[in-house]
Chains A and B, each alone.
Chain A
């Protein structure tokens, strides 16, 4: 157990941003801090980085008490959503910054710095842009420079705050995969903050799901997706249909994901009658939106199926069908 966060709390005025956050995770993982905005995930990241002070609690990494050091002695790499590149420096100087500010005793020679920076430029595939200024770079390139700059100091821990939040959808998808590959090569313990559940599920080894200053669940993407600890986690990790049961008092609420429902044309003992409203066939899956026939005021029910399933059992808009959970 190598990164330990013990009982961290933080309040801003009357607002409880973090409420006794507690976890222990092994090193060399890519950890996602996932949650809606205002859940405290960024505050936790800033406390670990030393940019914010916790009211009480401990953070230790590899048995070293992190909170005992100021931000500039923690050797933690930081990457922000809006890159925070030094605009008056070239890409080369940005990446070299952390090496150049080292005390004289530990500062590498010019040749060593140059060698290191070029290695990093090679890693982020921007070797030919060393002399450019940040204003001449695209968003994705800026973020890679910011990452290289953080990696230059050989950080013990890499923290990324919504690293892909400012990028457009396509670049974002590329950057996610790139970050995952990079992590597989470098194995630097990394924590990234995101509010995008898809991003967390796709990239992370371990996901910490937070809500209102508390941890809701910690687990691998597979665990949290297939075995959500509670309603919040279930609904936060993807689309979900909620049925308010009337007959069974012990199960007042049933939550089920769109791909776990099946559509039939004949009634059976546990099925629900619904009317198909919209059928969307564009995309990797077919999506059907339906309305509960017994409760027209309820939210639309979402069902997802493969194209093969749809072809063998087509649903016409406005037709009456029967819904039931798939056999697991």
Chain B
């Protein structure tokens, strides 16, 4: 009979403990294939273009790069893009959650049609949605006219118009991330909370919201990223006044049209770094909240 202690490792070991190792043997097939495929896929479609962007952008040298990025017009476009995207994503996170709630919880006739409608902003050519939004929100349009008359607020051709376009393209992303989580929530959690005396508002704030919060942040991140990257829909409604309603994507496009590839890439690089930092921060926050909820 072997004693248990025979198999124990020595108490002091000087082995390096954090040697990186891919996972142990697993019965689930396809690891080498999926690994190499993901690597090639990412390299072709993400890493290589980014690399080219960095190489192109550094043609100007560090001082040139900084000069382009810290140009007032560029900085103002950064500020405009980021702020409008942030407002649009926050609005979507809030109202997209309400739409998802309504879709999941309320049965009504024509629900399938309503459901398909949600995805439309993803499928519509951006030029089409841009023109349609402009027609509606311009001072002569239905909604644009209403706001101008009653509140003296101009929507199209102002930053507000940019936010409208960004909200439009971001809606499905929030609804589609929050919806499934709401759907899979055990109804027993709410029933228990009710039985313990909580009112409906308390049930929502204390039980439902903490459960769906990580998915709301995911939806927010996607909507934010989409809003930052949006070009087609926005240029129709934005007015595109330099320093006022000119988003970064348009500035890059203008530079390219003037065959100024180097400054276009420099500005793009600046935007890329900023967005990457922001998304990284949001992702860290997201995994922290999700850890609190699910423990994974």
Contact = CB atoms under 8 A, between A and B. Distances in A.
A75 interface: yes
B211 A84 contact: no
B192 A88 contact: no
Most buried by A among B194, B206, B211: B194
A72 B292 contact: no
B107 to A, nearest CB: 14
Interface in A43-80: 49-51, 70-78, 80
Contacts of B294: 87, 135
Contacts of B191: 49, 51, 71, 78, 80, 84
Given A84-B189, A84-B191, A86-B189, A153 B295 contact: no
A102 interface: yes
Interface residues of B, number: 21
Contact of A101 (B186, B197, B292): B197
A82 interface: yes
A325 interface: no
A86 B202 CA distance: 13
Given A88-B292, A101-B202, A153 B207 contact: no
A88 B188 contact: no
B198 A72 contact: yes
Contact of A86 (B195, B197, B207): B207
Interface in B130-146: none
B196 interface: yes
Given A87-B211, A87-B294, A82 B188 contact: yes
B193 A74 contact: no
A72 B211 contact: no
Contacts of A101: 193, 196-199, 202, 206
Contacts of A76: 195
A153 B292 contact: no
A102 B188 contact: no
A165 to B, nearest CB: 13
A113 to B, nearest CB: 13
A133 interface: yes
A72 B201 CA distance: 12
Given A87-B294, A88-B210, A88-B292, A72 B192 contact: no
A49 B195 contact: yes
A230 to B, nearest CB: 34
B187 to A, nearest CB: 9
Contacts of A98: 196-198
Contacts of A135: 294-295
Interface in B167-214: 186, 188-189, 191-199, 202, 206-207, 210-211
Interface in B65-104: none
Interface string A82-122: 10101110000000011001100000000000000000000
Interface string A228-272: 000000000000000000000000000000000000000000000
Contact of B197 (A51, A75, A87, A146): A75
B196 A84 contact: no
B195 A78 contact: yes
B189 A97 contact: no
Contacts of A70: 194
Interface in A142-157: 146, 149-150, 152-153
A72 B199 contact: yes
B293 interface: yes
A73 B196 CA distance: 9
Contacts of B193: 86, 97, 101
Contacts of A80: 188, 191-192
Nearest to B186: A84
A222 to B, nearest CB: 33
B197 A72 contact: yes
Contacts of A49: 191, 195
Contacts of A74: 195
Nearest to A134: B295
A169 B197 CA distance: 33
Interface string B116-135: 00000000000000000000
Contacts of B199: 72, 101
B210 A71 contact: no
A303 B197 CA distance: 52
Contacts of A78: 191-192, 195-196
Contacts of A133: 295
Nearest to B200: A72
A63 B202 CA distance: 30
A86 B196 CA distance: 12
Nearest to A79: B192
A171 B206 CA distance: 31
B186 to A, nearest CB: 6
B189 A153 contact: no
19 contacts: A49-B191, A51-B195, A70-B194, A72-B197, A74-B195, A78-B196, A84-B186, A84-B188, A84-B192, A87-B211, A88-B211, A88-B292, A97-B193, A97-B198, A98-B196, A98-B198, A101-B206, A135-B294, A150-B196
Given A80-B192, A97-B206, 6 more contacts: A71-B194, A86-B193, A86-B206, A87-B211, A101-B202, A149-B192
10 interchain residue pairs of minimum CB distance: A98-B196, A84-B188, A78-B195, A101-B198, A88-B210, A135-B295, A71-B194, A72-B194, A84-B192, A88-B293
